[in-house]
Amino acid sequence: MSVKESDLNEETPCTSSLGNYLWRDPPQENKWADCVHCGMCLESCPTYEQTGEEQHSPRGRVYLIKAVAEGKLSVDEDFANPVFSCLDCRACTTACPVDIDVGGLIEEARGQIRQAVPLNGWKGAVNKLFLHGVFPHHNRLRSLGGLLRFYQRSGLQKAVRKTKLINIMPQHLVELESIMPEVKGAVRKTLIKAKGETKQEVALLTGCVMDVFFSDINQSTINVLTRNGNDVSIPTNQTCCGALHVHAGDREMGRKLAKQNIEAFEKADKVIVNAAGCGCMMKEYTELFRDEPEWKKRAEEFEEKVIDISKYLHDTGYEKPKAAIPTRITYHDACHLAHGQGVRQEPRDILLDIPGVEMVHMPNADRCCGSAGIYNITNPEMADAVLKSKMENVPEDVEMISMGNPGCMMQMALGVQKYGRSQKIVHTVQLLDWAYQKEEGDDDHVRLKD
C-alpha cells in the first residue's frame, strides 16, 4: 500500500456524531469524564502560564470540548482558537491525578474543526502543498533536500542573506532559516549489517524532517545500533509518521500514512525511532482506528514494536564507550518523549555512561520549548514566549544541550542564537556515536565547538 494522489481528496465518511461533532472520530467521552476541574494541570501548561486565561488552560479546553459534545457550543472559529493554541505537549496529563488524555481530546477536536472550518486561501494552499504533496512522498522529500543542499552550498544562501532578500519572509521564518541545519545526503542503504556478531535485526524509521535535515542523526543511530550487534533494516515503503497531519486535524491523511507504515514494518520485531514526536504518534496509531477493527488490531500489534532509540539501548544493553568526551552538558526532555512515552531516565543514563561528560541539571527540563511540530510556524508569538521561558531555565555554564527530537533541536538552536548563548545542540545518540568514533581513533566527528 502507498499514498496515492487520488487518495488525498477523499471525504471523511460520517459514521458517528456527538452533540455538535458531526464527523468521524469525535472526542471520546471517556477521555473527559473523570475531569473535575481541580486545577492540578494549570501550572504545567505553557499557554496558561503565558496568558492566565482559562480557555487556554487544559481544564478550560476540556470544558469547551465537552460543551460542544453537549450541544452548548458550536464547532467554529471561537472554538478553534483555544484548541489550536494548545501545544499538545501532554504535560497536563502527567500532572493530572486521574490521567485525563487532554492531548487525545485536542487532536480529535482539531479533526472536527478542520471538517467544519477548513483552511482556505494561502494557508489552505500551503497546508495542502506540504502535508499532502511533500511529506508523504519520500522521493519528493529527497528532491526538496537536494534543492536545499544546492541553496546552502552554491552560495545562494549567502547571497540571499547578504542582500537581505531573505527579509521578504515573515520574521519568524527568517529566524528559522538562520538556524537551518546543513542538509546532507540521506541514508540510501536498505540493510546495514552489525559490526561483529548479530544479536538482533531491527528496523529504523528514517522519518521525513529527520531524513532531510538530520540525516547525520540517522547515520549516528545506525552506527550505534550496528556497534551493539544489531542488523538495521530500512524499509523503502515506509513514510511520514503522520504526526504533523494529526496535529493539524487531518486525521484521514494520518490514517493513510499509519496504514502504510504498519504494512512497511509488518515483518520487523522492533521499530527504532530517534524522533520523539514520531515515536509518540506511532505508539498511538490505535486511536485512529476505533471503528476499523482489523486495522485497530494491526495497530495495537505495531505499537508494541515501536521504541525510542535511547530506551532500546537502555533495555537491551549497550557497550559503554571508553573514550572520553570532556564536556558539561544539560538535558532537555522532549515533550513527546517524557510525557508522551514516559522515557526520561534512559537518555540521561546513556549520557552519564560517556567518560568525561558532566551533567548539569536543567530546572523544568520537561517544559515545552515551543516547537510542537510546526507550532513555531503557525503560532510564532506564543512559541517565542514559550521558548523565552525555556531558555531562562537552561544553565549558562554548559557547552551542550542534549535532546531526542528534531523539532526541539531546531527550536533550541533558535533560542541559543536569539538569546546570545553558545551551546551546541546535540541528539543524545550523536554523543554516544562520537564517543565510539573517538575510541576508534576518528576525531573528525567530535567537533564540540562547531
Instruction: Map out the domains of the chain as residue ranges.
Output: 9-116, 122-178, 191-314, 320-439
State pLDDT tens for residues 148-167: 888 888 888 888 888 888 88
Check: CATH 2.60.40.10 for 9-116?
no
pLDDT (average), residues 101-113: 96
State pLDDT tens for residues 248-284: 999 999 999 999 999 999 999 999 999 999 999 999 9
State pLDDT tens for residues 379-399: 999 999 999 999 999 999 999
For residue 390, count CB atoms less than 10 angstroms from its CB and return exposed for 0-12, middle for 13-18, buried for 19 or more: buried
Residues 6+ apart with CB under 8 A from 237: 2, 260, 263, 264
Confidence of residue 245 (pLDDT cuts 50, 70, 90): very high
CATH architecture, domain defined by 191-314: Up-down Bundle (1.20)
The per-residue pLDDT for 2 is: 52
Check: CATH 3.40.50 for 320-439?
yes
Name the pairing type of β-strands 200-204 and 357-359: unpaired
Name the pairing type of β-strands 200-204 and 271-273: parallel
Using DSSP's 3-state secondary structure scheme, residue 201 falls into: strand
Confidence of residue 289 (pLDDT cuts 50, 70, 90): very high
The per-residue pLDDT for 62 is: 97
The per-residue pLDDT for 420 is: 92
pLDDT (average), residues 124-143: 83
Would 191-314 and 320-439 be classified into the same CATH topology?
no
Confidence of residue 211 (pLDDT cuts 50, 70, 90): confident
Half-sphere exposure of 121 (CA within 13 A, CB side): 2
Bridge partners of 424? 400
Confidence of residue 317 (pLDDT cuts 50, 70, 90): very high
DSSP letters spanning 123-141: HHHHHIIIIITTTT-HHHH
The per-residue pLDDT for 18 is: 85
Q: What is the mean pLDDT of the chain?
A: 91
Helices (H) and strands (E) in the chain, counts: 22, 9
